[in-house]
Amino acid sequence: MTSQPTLTKTGSGHGEPGDPGSSLHAGLKNRHLSMIAIGGVIGAGLFVGSSSGIATAGPGILLSYALVGTLVVLVMRMLGEMSAANPTSGSFSAHADRALGRWAGFSIGWLYWFFWVVVLAVEATAGAKILESWIPGVPQWGWALIVMAVLTATNLVSVSSYGEFEFWFAGIKVVAIGAFIVVGALAIFGVLPGVHSDKAGFGNLTEHGGFLPHGPGAILTGVLLVVFSFMGSEIATLAAGESENPQRAVTKSTNSIIWRIGVFYLGSILVVVSLVPWSDPSIKEKGSYVAALDSLGIAHAGQIMNFIVLTSVLSCLNSGLYTASRMAFSLGQRGDAPKAFARTTSRGVPRAAILASVAFGFVAVFFNYKFPDSVFLFLVNSSGAVALFVWLVICFSQLRMRKIIKAEAPEKLVVKMWLYPYLTWAAAALIVFVLGYMLTDTEGASSGRTTVLLSLGVAAVVIAIALVKEKVRGGRSAAAEAVAEKVPVG
């Protein structure tokens, strides 16, 4: 059995405040976990990237979101089953370690870490652009530096400070998108005081070329455009390892994933395509949500949305740094990363893991400014398909872990995957199909084919390192046993 990262509650036993060691502290409260779970599915990609999907698939983008949303619900159910039985900061990487082998846990853990440290650079740059437009006296690179430095400091203080920041960041996102849905719905039904939009109505779903103006194939194209905006749903299962009741936190976040995706993704996109015809040029020019707010005559719609996007960017940065550092901590605990990553401060913070993660993030920001079309483009493309790799590994891990849990501790199966193993195999097949369909996309420097092939190349290198490391580890173990038994090796 693979050793798992340990959790100690603050103020009890090993890992008490004031005692540096290798244990995380249970510093996240229930309200932190609830908001992390809710906000985790609302990324900046929803606000920024949805316009491309709408322009590509028309109102049919709702089916694209529904298809990907269903896939995420299934994957999160599988992850919830494993994490409720064994809550750990390594989440799916630790589960893959035990279910599929050390090579799997090592590979997917480092790929996931790579994904998030690249995301740090992407989000820091996006936030810096907004802040520079407000306060042009500070250069864009300066804002990126300031934002990353501030959020690094909060993560270094304690896990509760991360939770508190994320509570408010996520809270703003939730309130904003909730208000958008309510106001939009009132306008659609013609009962919003002071607003008489001649465009709003459910007729926009069918009156401008039909529900699928570009044909059924556009649904799959839309899937490629929206699938990556769902990354982050799994953060709650990592964070649960630092809560007072991990099993309860995982169960709650898993059970609520359906309504979270239904309301925040499908609900808000339905409002957008009902308020504004999908073919309206303002959707691509201004962005889908800004265009929707403008259609209602809401003043300063662009700046309002910039504030919401900035909040989402800061939330993603905050969670990205937390997630990358906890994955590095878990890898260190399992001997798959430098031992320093597994050491914690007196507050239960894995300082070395955080600093290593943000250091790579700073390097990626530098590449984004100096070599945006070469080095940084390679980083983005080579990490782009990692989300799908993670989901696929979760599927295969759950197929094996169900048997292990039932054999060793069936009482821990408090969350169960529906229709096991059929829905698990169906989800895995859909992920493989999406990866295959991405290979047919050959347009642009960041085409689906480029992303998949580069991501597969990086994954192959990481897996090769894992297998070599495993072989070396096995050789050392055999040598140690031979010495202990005084039997010549070979």
Model confidence, pTM: 0.88
Residue owning tokens 């907004």: 130
> What whole-number distance in Å separates Cα of residue 423 and Cα of residue 318?
33
Residue 63 covered by a domain: yes
Q: What is the residue-wise DSSP string for 75-126?
A: HHHHHHHHHHHS--TTHHHHHHHHHT-HHHHHHHHHHHHHHHHHHHHHHHHH
Quote the pLDDT of residue 478.
62
CATH assignment of the domain containing 285: 1.20.1740.10
pLDDT tens string 389-435: 999 999 999 999 999 999 999 999 999 999 999 999 999 999 999 99
> What whole-number distance in Å separates Cα of residue 184 and Cα of residue 187?
5
Residue 490 covered by a domain: no
Q: How many domains does the chain have?
A: 1
Quote the pLDDT of residue 398.
97
Quote the pLDDT of residue 411.
92
Residue 222 covered by a domain: yes
Residue 273 covered by a domain: yes
What contacts 380, CB < 8 A, 6 or more positions away? 118, 122, 446
Quote the pLDDT of residue 212.
93
Residue 243 DSSP symbol:
B
Residue 19 DSSP symbol:
-
Quote the pLDDT of residue 481.
63
Residue 2 covered by a domain: no
Residue 343 covered by a domain: yes
Quote the pLDDT of residue 429.
96
CB atoms within 10 A of CB 175: 11
Would you mind telling me the total number of residues written for the chain in this entry? 490
pLDDT tens string 139-169: 988 999 999 999 999 999 988 988 898 889 8
Quote the pLDDT of residue 352.
95
CB atoms within 10 A of CB 418: 12
Q: Which structural domain range is residue 282 located in?
A: 7-485
> What whole-number distance in Å separates Cα of residue 7 and Cα of residue 314?
27
> What whole-number distance in Å separates Cα of residue 398 and Cα of residue 415?
12
H/E stretch holding 439: none
Quote the pLDDT of residue 17.
45
Spell out, as residue ranges, where the chain has pLDDT lower than 50. Answer: 1-19
Quote the pLDDT of residue 479.
65
Quote the pLDDT of residue 374.
87
